[in-house]
Structure formats: structure tokens, C-alpha cells
Amino acid sequence: MKNLFLLTMLLSTSFLFAQGIVTGTITDSEMKTPLPGANVTVAGTSNGTTTDFDGKFSLNVEATTGKIVLSYVGFQKQEIEFNVENGETVNLGEIVLVADDSALDEIIITSYSLAIDRKTPVAVSTIKAKDIETKLGSQEFPEILKSTPGVYATRAGGGFGDGRINLRGFESENVAVLINGVPVNDMENGAVYWSNWAGLSDVTRTMQVQRGLGASKVAVPSIGGTINIVTKTTDVEEGGNVMTTLGNDGYTKYGLSYSTGLLENGFAASVSAARTYGDGYVDGTEFNSVSYFVNLSKKFNDAHELSFTAFGAKQRHGQRQNRQLIADYQKSERGRKYNSDWGYLNGEVVHIEDNFYHKPQISLNHYWTINKKSTLSTAIYASFGTGGGGGTRGESKFTDPDYTLGPLGPVDVDRIQDENIANGAGGSESILRASRNDHNWYGLLSTYTIELSDNLELLAGVDLRDYTGSHFYEVTNLLGGQYFADDSDVNNPNNTLQVGDKFNYYNDGKVGWQGLFGQLEYSKDKISGFISLSASNTSYKRIDYFQYLDSDPLQETDRYNFLGYMTKGGANYNIDDTHNVFANVGYFEKAPGFDAVFPNFNNEEINDDAENQKIMSFELGYGFRSSKFTANVNLYRTAWRDRTETRSFQLSEDETAFANILGVNAVHQGVEIDFVYRATDKLKITGMASFGDWKWEDNIENVEIRGEDQELLQTVDLFIEDIPVADAAQTALALGFGYDLLPKTTVYVDYNYYDRLYADFDPSDGGYNPNDSRPDEPWEVPSYGLFDASVTHGFKVGKLDATLVGRINNVFDTEYISDAIDGDLSNSATARVWYGVGRTFTVGAKLNF
């Protein structure tokens, strides 16, 4: 109530209504294309806005005469006078901004691979910093994309940083994520762990979702699409801000940002830091994170610029790692907040499952203007990461009902500790451990661009990466015991472990990547297009320090290389100022994952038959642009052949085998529609509809499993033909409204609806045999819809500008299942699920100086 009262009082401070409206379109003098995100303000005031993706702006003005100030990083500032009558709309037409050679250009912009509307022939959605600030609240970073066509984003278990995203039905392993043009997908399995980037929302300037082939120029094989995140650069003008946000369940965030502006000697610096902590919506998911961002830039002369950037987030949070039966949630007093993965120790919460990571990214970027026609941009980057996820080891007391404080928990860790103490010299019977995944990652990305003619541009580059991932269990808490006995290290078979010691497994995964790429771009009048070629070599090597003696040559494997390539092309045709059409097509081969080469986690059973995955993609698109209404329609079809699929078998206590299953194919096809309608000068309506038809294509029968002497051990069948691809909603709808109540006060309401979400399953487990009594497809999760709302209000604190943002997610506290794993009977009784988060709120304030 206090927050609501405060919000009402602040809203009442704005009482001046607009005298008129000034509109226009800002374009780039060199590229002849719109400039999205350009700043538009009334001179001498804080009243301003930014241009949309088409370079258009609409600004309410409180005086009948004045000047509009137009600015954009790297361009000369421009002022234009306006004169309006009360209630009148004046269109300033097209305004061309001229490049400013003395300003600090944005570094390696060619490497960012941002798509340009009505020019780049791909399906794209763009999210700007203002949208993130207004609509994210306490949600996970991927959730800001939930109203984007083809996207399904959830908070997974509900812990801080545990969000996940699927694009056109593909998991993050098959969605390329770039930050400032640098790939950040895990080098071993391709996954993206968003907890590594817990502070990314604070420093993101622009985020593009390029569905399908995407416009990325580096040699990244994205099947579902590319998420390209561009962080803040050093601002040309001096300034900064302080901010704070409060929310439900103790959510607290505060931070500071400051930029020196461009100094006379060509130097500029920007820094940002924030801390976020709270109890978490789900039980046992307390969290604490410190994020930071530093950019130091120097313009030496007209030819050379250098920029150093470092950002990261050190965080730890409790997790709800394990899904539960729906019946368990219903039995628990905590309902959808129920979590079995925590307990009490010495009167304090202890996280049995938790997550802790610090994986900063550091880059040094050089931009060289060789001459008027050619440039070279180079980024050298590194990441030194540590972290892991919690768990248990020893006797399975943590899941034993006898060791819970209630019928379903939390866990009585005090009792486990007392028993360890009582065991004395026998050591701990049960302990807490962490599954560590540390890494050292180095890379170089360099792009050369040359203008061959007025209409033709060629770019070529190299993408080099070297990655070492270190994997091991680590003792984190002996829970009162003197030691923990372990014989997993053949070099030290009678080990008595202490906190911090490694055990169970300890190995390094070494991944190398060498990529070359080239792209030819054409643009003239109404036609633009590109053709792109890239090739890469992925190499894998495994070193195992526990399963093999230090003297054993098997401790270190050879390197196994997989050559891949990609070719893609597309064209866009602007029929007129209103209509455009585009098409693209591409084919590429993607290396199998690290675990597909070493399927049984040892150095003896190597999958020599691991195959590249083969992907063919087609897309057609149509765009409509007018002053009030813009819309896009996209049709796509992606065929995924020879998806990496292996299956391991325990033949005896000492003998294992595996099957390399080829021919596992899937087809993802569908239609996507999105629109923006500016119904009035104050009301903007947005919408999206995404209809997917994602299915596994063929059954795989009689896969032979043979032993060392080639004797037939057994056969494997995968019954998956026409089974829906699971784990993402195949139907998604969104509708949003933004209404300007007052010149500096806007209310937003968004509705998202999801249907045809199937419980996840592993195709290698056999699929859905038509001869069985169980259903012939996975359980379909009930459809659901969610309302979100927010309000932003601008006001003055003395001479300083301030903003207040209030946000409510899941306004009506809808109960829904967001994630599920299929059960034995493929129904609601046997599926294991995570419930989505109920109603949450945040109230935040920012003061600019």
C-alpha cells in the first residue's frame, strides 16, 4: 500500500498536457538507412524520446515553438526549429544525420551483425534498453523476449539466473548467443547459462533476435536463430545515474553508472555496478549477485580507435533443481513454491542444490579505418570462469522422508550432521558437494570490410577460439564429519577428503575452433542481398586425471577434428515505401557435441562414428510499413538431419557399451506474425502470433549394439515418427498496449498465451511404441495465459531528471505449469513438472545526473 500511495503521489506531479506533437524520420547520411535508437529531445528540457526500428519518432511538446535536438553516437548533433498549434501534429519529414569524424565511433560495429529493416533479408525482432528497463522487473533476462515470435522463455526451476529460452522449438544449444559480436555458447555442449550474465540487463543497449539463419557474419552454426546482445559503449557526453528497485520476497537491487564523456584527448570511460539480492519466490532460492561493467576507449586519430571492455556477475543462488509430481505440489503447504532441495542447518537455511558462478568476459577491440573504402575491426577476448552447482554425496539421506522436518520437507540437515559427528573416525556418511565447471577461454575475432563499388561490399574474417573446461566434484561441507572416504582417484585410491578436495571425477575437456567466413553484400535502389560462406574446424580432446594413472598414456586422448561449413544467402526487395518481401536459404553442417565423442565419459570408448549434424533452412518474409501500422509475416522450414544421439548401456559392473544412432531427424516449420499499431498519438498496440509445426520425422529401428568382438548384444528401436518436438509451446500469442496518460507517464499492459506445450522426453529412450498401451505422444501441458502490467513516470528532483517504474508480472496470479518431463504413462499423474511463478511486483527509481 505504501508503494501504491507513493506511485500515486508521484503521478500527480505531472499535470501539463502536450500542446502538440512533432514527428519525423532520422536516417544515416552514409548508409541511407534509418537510425533506430537516436535521441530526440526538446532543447533546454528533459522531454525526449528515441527513434523506433524504422528511424521514426513522435514527441509530445509542451510549447508551441522551440527546437528539437537530434543526436546519435558517431553523428553530428542537429537542431531543428518547430512551430505547432495547440493539438496539432507537425511532421519534420526525413532528417539526415551526418557522420562526425571527431566523435567516438562505436567499436567493431561491423562485428555486431545487426540486421537493418527493409534491407537485411532475415526475420528479426529488436529490444531496446528502454523496453528492458520498463518491462523486465524481477524476471529473468531471457523473459524480456517472451512476446517475440518463435520464443518460449521460462524461469525453469525459478531460481535467480536459471531462466531458459527456446527459439522455434530449438533449445539454447542450437541458438547462437553473441555479446558484442563474441559467441558465448558453451564450447563443449553449446548451452547458454544465463546465470553467468546475471547483470547483463543493466548494460544492454540493444538486443536483436534474428530467427532462422540470422545476419551473423561469424561462423556460428545457429539452427533456431541468433540472439545478438550489444552492450553500452562509452557515452560521448558526461553523465550517469543511480538506481534502486524493491520487490516481492525481499527483492532488492541498487546500482550506479557513470561516464566521463569524450574528453579533448580522445579518451572516454564508462563504469556501471549493481548488487541484487533477495529470498526468491520459490522456497530455498535465496540469491546474491554483484554485477559490473567497465569500458575504456581511446580515439588516437582518424584511423585508429581502441576500446577495452570487461563485464560479469559474481552470483550464488539456491536452486529448485528437481521437478516434482503435481500431486506433491498439491500435498505441500507451499503449493507452487514447494522445493525439495533445501533444508535447515544450525537454525539457518542451507541450499542442498545451489548455483554459483563468476565468468567475466574481457575484450580489447581495435578499429582501424584503413582508407575511405576499407576497415579492419579486431577483438581479442578472454574469459576466466569458475563455478558450479550443488548436490549431495554418500548415503541418500537427503531424499529419505525420515530426514525431513515435514511430510515433504525441508530436509533436517541437523540430523544428518549429528549422525556424521556420531560416526567419529568413520567419517561422514553424507556430505554436500559441488559439481564444478571452470574454464579458461581465449578468442580472436577479426573482420576486414572493403567497399568494392557503390553497391557492393565484401567482408571476410577469422574466428579463433581455444577453450579448456575443467570438471570435477568438490567437497563443500562435511556436515560435522572428520573426512569423507573416496576411492575414485586411481592415483590416490584411499583418499580421506576435506572441504575443497576433488573427488568422484576430475577431467579436462579441450576444445579448439578455427573459423573462416566471408560475405558479399549488394544494395542498390530497391534491392539488397547477400551471399555468405564459412568453414570451421572443431577439435576435441579429453584428459582424465582420476580414471587413469599418471603414467598411463590413456590419461590423455588424441584430438578429434570435425570439419563443418555453412553457406547461406538471401535477398530483400522493397516494392515501395510500404511493402517489402525477402527470402533466404542456407545449409550447414554442425559438429557433434563433446559428449557425443566421449559418450561414456572415459578415454577408451571413443565414438569414431560421430557424424556432423546437417541443417537445411528456408524462409520467406513480408513486411508492411506505414505511419501508423507496421507488420511482418514470416514462413519458415528447417530440416535437421542426423541430430547427435547416443545411448549408453551398462552390460556388467565393469563393462559398458554405447550406440551411435544415426538418422534421428526433425522438421521445424511454421508461420510468425507480429505488428505495431499506433492507434492514436497516445496509444500503441503491439501483437504477435506464432504457430509452429515441429515434429520428429522418422522411426529408427533395429540399431545394432555390438561388443568388442563384434558379437550382437541387443538392438535399439526409437519410435518417434510424427511425435511433436517437446519442451516449447508450439502456439504462442501476445497482445500489448502502451498508453501515455501524461507527457511523462506511460502505462503498459501485456498478455501472453501459450498452447501445445508437450512434456520433454529423450528420443534415445525408445520413443513411443505404437504397440504399447501408453499414449502415442508425450503429455500435453495445459495451455495458459498471463497478464503483465507496468507504469513509468518521469519527474524532476531539483534540476535532475528522475524516473519511477512499477511492474507487476502475472497480475491475476494465474497457476500454470511452465516446464515438464514426460512420465511412464504420458499423463498428468506421472509427469514431473515445475510450476511457473505467481504474482510478483517491483518498484524502481532512477535518478540521472
Report DSSP state, residue 72: -
Does some domain include residue 405? Answer: yes
Does some domain include residue 349? Answer: yes
Structural domain including 702 reads 239-848
Does some domain include residue 44? Answer: no
Residue-wise pLDDT tens digits, 217-230: 666 668 899 998 88
From the centroid of its chain, how far is CA 362? Answer: 19
pLDDT(17) > 60: no
Quote the number of domains for the chain.
1
Could you tell me if 485 and 495 are in contact, meaning their C-beta atoms sit under 8 angstroms apart? yes
In whole angstroms, what is the distance from residue 792 CA to residue 802 CA? 10
Tell me which of 733 and 106 has the higher pLDDT.
733
pLDDT(105) > 80: no
Does some domain include residue 813? Answer: yes
Does some domain include residue 217? Answer: no
In whole angstroms, what is the distance from residue 532 CA to residue 342 CA? 50
In whole angstroms, what is the distance from residue 492 CA to residue 664 CA? 42
The CATH number covering residue 581 comes to 2.40.170.20
Q: Are strands 456-477 and 430-451 parallel, antiparallel or unpaired?
A: antiparallel
Cis-peptide into 724, omega within 30 deg = no
Could you tell me if 449 and 459 are in contact, meaning their C-beta atoms sit under 8 angstroms apart? yes
3-class SS string, 38-64: CEEEECCCCCEEECCCCCEEEEEECCC
Report DSSP state, residue 109: H
In whole angstroms, what is the distance from residue 285 CA to residue 807 CA? 21
Could you tell me if 223 and 640 are in contact, meaning their C-beta atoms sit under 8 angstroms apart? yes
Task: Tell me the average pLDDT of the chain.
Answer: 89
Residue-wise pLDDT tens digits, 566-603: 999 999 999 998 999 999 999 999 899 999 999 889 99
Extended strands (E) in 55-103: 56-61, 65-71, 78-83, 88-97
In whole angstroms, what is the distance from residue 844 CA to residue 333 CA? 32
Does some domain include residue 786? Answer: yes
Residue-wise pLDDT tens digits, 278-306: 999 999 999 999 999 999 999 899 899 99
Closest CA to 174 of 190, 197, 195: 190
Task: Average the pLDDT over 756-775 and give the result.
Answer: 88
Supply the pLDDT for residue 101.
41
DSSP per residue, 320-376? --S-EEHHHHHHSTTGGG--SSEEEETTEEEESSEEEEE--EEEEEEEEE-SSSEEE
Task: Average the pLDDT over 512-533 and give the result.
Answer: 94
Alpha helices for 117-234 (secondary structure H): 129-135, 200-203
Supply the pLDDT for residue 160.
94
Supply the pLDDT for residue 14.
38
Q: Retrieve residue 825's grid coordinates.
A: 504413462
Paired strand residues for 190: none
Q: Return the H-helix or E-strand segment holding 238.
A: none
Paired strand residues for 460: 448, 518
Residue percentage of the chain with pLDDT more than 70: 92
Least confident of 84-93, 311-320, 382-391, 738-747: 84-93
In whole angstroms, what is the distance from residue 761 CA to residue 827 CA? 13
Alpha helices for 193-323 (secondary structure H): 200-203
Task: Average the pLDDT over 147-163 and give the result.
Answer: 95
Q: Return the H-helix or E-strand segment holding 285.
A: none
Residue-wise pLDDT tens digits, 332-389: 999 999 999 999 999 999 999 999 999 999 999 999 999 999 999 999 999 998 999 9
Supply the pLDDT for residue 110.
36
Residue 141: φ, ψ to 5°: -50, -45
**SS3 call for 63:** coil
Supply the pLDDT for residue 66.
87
pLDDT(116) > 90: no
pLDDT(325) > 80: yes
Task: Average the pLDDT over 447-459 and give the result.
Answer: 94
